[in-house]
Structure 1
Amino acid sequence: MNIAVWGSELIGWTAATAFAEFGNQVHINQTPESKQSLGEQSDPNSILFNEPGLLSHVKAQYDQDNLTFGDPDAALECPIQILALHPDQLPLAKTIIQRVNQQTQSQQLVVINYSTFGLGATDELASLLDTGKQQAIAYIPDQLSEGSAYDNFIKAKTLVIGCQSNEANKIIKALYKPFSRSLEQMMIVKRREAEFMKFAVNGMLALRLGYINELANLADLLNIDIDTITAGMGNDPRIGKHYLSPGCGFGGAHFSKSIQTMAQLLKTNRNSIILNTLLEENEKQKVLPFRKLWRHYKADVNNLKVAVWGLSFKPNTASIQNAPSLQVVETLLAQGCKVHAHDPQAMMNFAKRFPSDGKIAYYSSAIETLKDVDALIILTEWNEYWSPDYYQMLEMMNNPVIIDGRNIMDKELMESFGFVYYGVGR
């Protein structure tokens, strides 16, 4: 099949590459309007850089001529059009569909909208299609997790297709057939229901994260180990183990945006502030590691040297969108601390926001950041941070204070080595 992909969101690059690997001819397009409306946010290089491994898949398909770039005239003729645009680019999506209608000679057109524009947006786009031809649009919720996007796509457990056209559903099922072996469930629903499902799922996940963080903060006050509590909760089949890890707040670009959209829907239609409150508390949670440092040093933090491990908002990505590290480092610098930072992937992105200037320095290895520091703050649970050389850490640190914002270290073990250890709810 000939497929056109518009936009440079992660879902667009992932879907384009996966479809190309299974025999489709895929045209990827960046429009002038896209670059003008979003600037650096629409830079495909940043998306590919932030998602380790995806670039190699893209290059392989480009070398095999399965992926082409920058030929909008050819793209407009494709019978399958994919919208993978930024949430703020609904006007651009409408323009693309209007252009397709003007240029396409095909009687049959299927538009797949992966973009998270908002509730009812795909119906708006449907109104622009030519009802005299076999044209239809579907909304498919993006279920990718940054850091494992490609595997999420080709090994998806569920597929939700929001589409009211039987013919379009047949084409979409055929397109997804190579990835259907691992599917446990396929749902065909209305477009509006699929959009609502996307927001509802993200809202539920955020509520679990927010609730477990609240429990962890309470456990701190009551001298209770939150790990014991989460183990008991996770073993209850009504609850399960997923999204029960307390920490210093969640981040990510589109996850946070999705929660904001659902919060607005609830506030406008139900006068409910449950998600607004959650988002406010999550912002407070992001600076929890600094508050623990502040209390330990009795508010005297000026000129402290502080190592920070983990700058990305989650492991296996270089993205720092809404990451706790942004607030923590900004607060540390504002209070006169000197920061020694490390991250396996995100230092280049972070240095654009906080250039190395004598107040913050970046190190090629985590252990190097610890020389003469007064505390270590862990903000991202990268694999290499879980079991460092504790003896070497003690030798290098001026004061062996560890503030573990992700609870990756064992409290009793760390204290037995002589560290002063602070976790979240421990």
Structure 2
Amino acid sequence: MKVSVFGCELSGLVTAGSLAHTGNNVMAIPVGKVKVEDLIKGILPREEPGLDQLLANEFKEGRLTFESDWEKGIMHGDVLFLSMPSWLAERAEAVIELVGQKAQGDVLVVSQSTLPIGTADRFEAMLKLAFAQRGLVAKAVVVAMPEFISEGSAISDFSKPNRVVLGSGDKAATKVIKDLMRPFNNVTDQFKVMSTRAAEYTKYSVNALLATRISLVNELANNAEHFNIDMEEVRQGLGSDHRVGFNYLYPGCGFGGPSFAADVQLLVKTLQSKGYDADLLKTVLSNNEAQKEVLFRKAWRFFEQDLRGIKIAIWGLSFKPNTATVDNAPSIKTIEALVAQGAEVIAYDPKAAPAFKHYWGDRPQVTVVEEMYQALEGADALMVLTEWKSFWSPDYQKMLSLMERPVIFDGRNIYEHSVMREKGFRYFGIGRGEVI
């Protein structure tokens, strides 16, 4: 099948590469700052495990092409995908406007983008009106198929979905999409077919529920340590209840990323537009922003409210492991708070150093190093902000020899308090370790 994917950010590239891999003729069209020349050279807007190789292979085989001309993309595809992040919503609408002006026959649009509820219906109405004004006798259908991929596991999330939410009231369109996605749906039928608005709302609802779950666990953890309770024991008790489960049940220093919190915030605004205050979700977002500074507050108390001249090592800048993205990451807020109080920061991340350097610029008091132990030289404390696997089993003796003071603030609870104590460290986790 001929497929055009408008949008070459993470979602669009994963969709384009995965559909090409299953034999489709795919054209990927950037709609933002991404350039075709860079994509052809393998320069991607986000670093994602396996994505560069997937795209390179499909491009070499001729099943995937990149095109800057939107009109060529419209003419190419039997199915047109809108795969853009929410901040490119205006570009999505521009694509629809051009489709209305240039399409020569029936059009099937699949919206993967997280756009306001009712967008698919509105886009379909726009196309039908444009066709009528041109006197074009053709069918226009816009369906909603929100993406549920996560950075770090995006290809697997797309190709091995635990469900595919499809908002469609058109049986013919539903049949086409199901056939297109058949290679990723061949074990059991994972499609959940519903109205377009319900599909769009489902995407927002999933993010809202996960955000609420994370913030609640963090709140429970923050308070558990004041009762001399190890939150890991509580987590085991909670997760073993089949009604709760273990997913998204890990206390930490807050969630980040370019889309997660933004999607919840957009849902809040949507609900407010209908006269609903959305107090719970506003509290969730507020609590998460406060949680990003939880390690700063622990360090502030430990160093007796004076961080001037204190040297803090940071392990982890990306908002989650296996990604180079620092957008909205807890590291940003933590480092800004430390610097504002006069601390010196030495930071390391396996992949996100370039992105952080670009964000931080030439502002003083922060040095980014190329090796994890280098960050520890003369450090008064270590803060772990991202749970990269390379941080889980470090050389403890080497750490002790390098650090000025053996103090660890663990924002991801990757270490055991008893082990750290035996190794000679002062250890402060989230609902674990020493209380301060």
Identity of aligned residues (%): 38
- Which residue is equivalent to 1:6? 6
1:23 Cα deviation after fit: 1.4
User: What RMSD over aligned residues (CA atoms) do the two structures have, in Å?
Assistant: 1.9
CA distance in 1 between counterparts of 2:386 and 2:299 reads: 17
- Count of aligned pairs between the two proteins: 418
Q: What SS is found at the alignment partner of 1:240? A: coil
Equivalences for 1:308-387 in 2 at 5 Å?
A: 308-355=314-361, 359-387=365-393
- Which residue is equivalent to 1:287? 293
- Which residue is equivalent to 2:134? none
Letter in 1 for 2:379: V
8 Å CA contact 2:9–2:45 kept in 1: the answer is no
Tell me, yes or no, if structure 1 residue 114 matches structure 2 residue 101: no
CA distance in 1 between counterparts of 2:211 and 2:254 reads: 10
- Which residue is equivalent to 1:15? 15
1:335 Cα deviation after fit: 1.5
CA distance in 2 between counterparts of 1:304 and 1:213 reads: 27
Letter in 1 for 2:378: D
Tell me, yes or no, if structure 1 residue 170 matches structure 2 residue 193: no
Is there any run of 5+ residues in structure 1 with no aligned partner, and where? Answer: none
- Which residue is equivalent to 2:99? 100
**Which of 422, 433, 436 is 1:416 aligned to?**
422
1:230 Cα deviation after fit: 0.6
Q: Deviations over 1:348-373 (max 9, x none)?
A: 10011224666222222211211111
CA distance in 1 between counterparts of 2:331 and 2:88 reads: 28
CA distance in 2 between counterparts of 1:50 and 1:273 reads: 36
1:48 Cα deviation after fit: 4.0
CA distance in 2 between counterparts of 1:369 and 1:90 reads: 40
Equivalences for 1:74-93 in 2 at 5 Å?
A: 74-77=72-75, 78-93=77-92
8 Å CA contact 1:158–1:183 kept in 2: the answer is no
1:334 Cα deviation after fit: 1.7
CA distance in 2 between counterparts of 1:366 and 1:174 reads: 47
Distance 1:248 1:183, change over 3 A: farther
Letter in 2 for 1:136: V
CA distance in 1 between counterparts of 2:96 and 2:278 reads: 35
Letter in 2 for 1:362: V
1:101 Cα deviation after fit: 3.1
Tell me, yes or no, if structure 1 residue 57 matches structure 2 residue 63: no
TM-score using structure 2 length? 0.92
CA distance in 1 between counterparts of 2:320 and 2:217 reads: 17
The range that moved more, 60-69 or 243-252, is: 60-69
CA distance in 1 between counterparts of 2:170 and 2:216 reads: 40
1:86 Cα deviation after fit: 2.9
Is there any run of 5+ residues in structure 2 with no aligned partner, and where? Answer: 132-136
**Which of 65, 69, 91 is 1:68 aligned to?**
65
**Which of 239, 263, 281 is 2:244 aligned to?**
239
Letter in 2 for 1:121: T
Equivalences for 1:71-220 in 2 at 5 Å?
A: 71-77=69-75, 78-106=77-105, 108-130=106-128, 132-183=137-188, 185-220=190-225
CA distance in 1 between counterparts of 2:101 and 2:268 reads: 38
8 Å CA contact 1:6–1:85 kept in 2: the answer is yes
1:98 Cα deviation after fit: 2.8
Q: Deviations over 1:218-240 (max 9, x none)?
A: 11221111001010000011111
- Which residue is equivalent to 1:24? 24
Q: Deviations over 1:119-151 (max 9, x none)?
A: 111111010223742321111111101111011
1:261 Cα deviation after fit: 1.6
Q: What SS is found at the alignment partner of 1:89? A: helix
- Which residue is equivalent to 1:402? 408
Q: Deviations over 1:309-338 (max 9, x none)?
A: 000000110011110000111111222211
The range that moved more, 288-297 or 179-188, is: 179-188
TM-score using structure 1 length? 0.94
Distance 1:213 1:169, change over 3 A: same
Q: What SS is found at the alignment partner of 1:118? A: coil
The range that moved more, 413-422 or 63-72, is: 63-72
1:264 Cα deviation after fit: 2.3
Distance 1:175 1:354, change over 3 A: same
